[in-house]
């Protein structure tokens, strides 16, 4: 992005700016901030990843991560927030990738809500990451303005930094898988509600709702139904050893069964 400057952050003043940015994005309940200034200060001082994206003097995105297991191989990206729809999140990920490679790391992991379509599209299509674990209610109930009391199921995304699909994504060549003709629908949508289907094929599709964040506000019962349906279908398939291979058409996961 023209005029965007990305750099590591260390000072209390810089980290207070990150705290305010995250507060503007999530509007957490009192005591529920995604990360504190003190913890960011400690992580930065200990050599972990704390970085911001600036346009002029204005902070427009930030990301905080820490070194993870196996030691010397993995950075876990704990929280990233950016102004939506402007390419800032992608720029932060590229900066994060360069930071990790400079330190000899070969992958970055993070968690995201599997029900949010734009996040699934960004992670799997634009970045070429692969979901490798379904984590039910990972953070418990979350009371911020985005999660609105929903159970915090998360998908663990793994970004293998030198994998061909990731190298292509870095060149702005998104990973856009096609649905094979013999695929079956494991979960779809009808009248705003989830409807379970078949899973007896090598490739199955799992649809997620168009806007789960709006649904949490307007129809909490439907939002809960989607949460439990995706947990049962997608989480169940992954627990059985199936692999998520992509996200198609900004609407559904592609899942490959091993048997």
What is the Cα–Cα distance from 18 to 9, expressed in whole angstroms?
9
Residue 97, C-beta contacts closer than 8 angstroms, at least 6 positions apart? 108, 159, 161, 170
Take residue 63 and report the two structure tokens written for it: 């990301």
Mean pLDDT score, 49-78: 97
Write down the CATH superfamily of domain 4-170. Answer: Gcn5-related N-acetyltransferase (GNAT) (3.40.630.30)
- The pLDDT score that the predictor gives to residue 29 is 82
Cβ atoms of residues 208 and 236 within 8 Å: no
- The pLDDT score that the predictor gives to residue 147 is 55
Take residue 66 and report the two structure tokens written for it: 């820490």
Question: Is residue 141's pLDDT more than 70?
Answer: no
Q: At what angle do helices 37-45 and 12-26 cross, to 10 degrees?
A: 130
* Torsion angles phi and psi, residue 115, rounded to 5: -85, -15
Question: Is residue 143's pLDDT more than 60?
Answer: no
User: Per-residue pLDDT tens for 158-205?
Assistant: 999 999 999 999 999 999 999 999 999 999 999 999 999 999 999 999
Lowest mean pLDDT among 48-52, 80-84, 238-242: 80-84
**pTM recorded for the entire structure:** 0.93
Question: Is residue 148's pLDDT more than 70?
Answer: no
Lowest mean pLDDT among 14-18, 102-106, 247-251: 247-251
- The pLDDT score that the predictor gives to residue 258 is 81
Q: What is the DSSP letter of 69?
A: S
What is the Cα–Cα distance from 36 to 24, expressed in whole angstroms?
14
User: Structural domain boundaries of the chain?
Assistant: 4-170, 184-256
pLDDT band at 1, cuts 50/70/90? low
Cβ atoms of residues 121 and 233 within 8 Å: no
pLDDT band at 118, cuts 50/70/90? very high
């Amino acid at each position: 992005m023209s005029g965007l400057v990305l750099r590591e952050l260390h000072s209390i003043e810089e980290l207070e700016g990150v705290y305010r940015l995250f507060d503007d994005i999530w509007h957490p309940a009192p005591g529920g901030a995604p990360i504190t200034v003190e913890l960011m200060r400690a992580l930065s001082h200990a050599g972990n990843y704390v970085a911001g994206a600036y346009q002029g003097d204005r902070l427009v995105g930030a990301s905080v991560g820490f070194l993870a297991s196996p030691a010397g191989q993995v950075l876990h990206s704990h929280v990233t927030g950016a102004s939506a729809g402007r390419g800032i999140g992608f720029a932060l990920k590229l900066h994060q990738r360069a930071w990790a490679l400079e330190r000899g790391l070969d992958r970055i992991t993070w968690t995201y809500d599997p029900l949010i379509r734009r996040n699934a599209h960004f992670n799997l299509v634009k970045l070429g990451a692969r979901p490798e674990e379904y984590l039910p209610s990972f953070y418990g109930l979350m009371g911020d303005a985005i999660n609105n009391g929903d159970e915090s199921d998360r998908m663990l995304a793994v970004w293998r930094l030198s994998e061909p699909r990731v190298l292509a994504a870095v060149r702005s060549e998104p990973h856009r898988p096609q649905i094979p003709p013999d695929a079956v629908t494991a979960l779809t949508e009808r009248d705003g509600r989830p409807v379970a289907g078949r899973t007896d094929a090598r490739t199955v599709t799992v649809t997620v709702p168009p806007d789960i964040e709006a649904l949490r506000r307007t129809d909490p019962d439907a939002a809960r139904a989607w949460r439990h349906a995706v947990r049962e279908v997608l989480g169940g398939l992954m627990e059985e050893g199936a692999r998520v291979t992509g996200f198609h058409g900004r609407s559904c996961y592609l899942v490959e069964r091993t048997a």
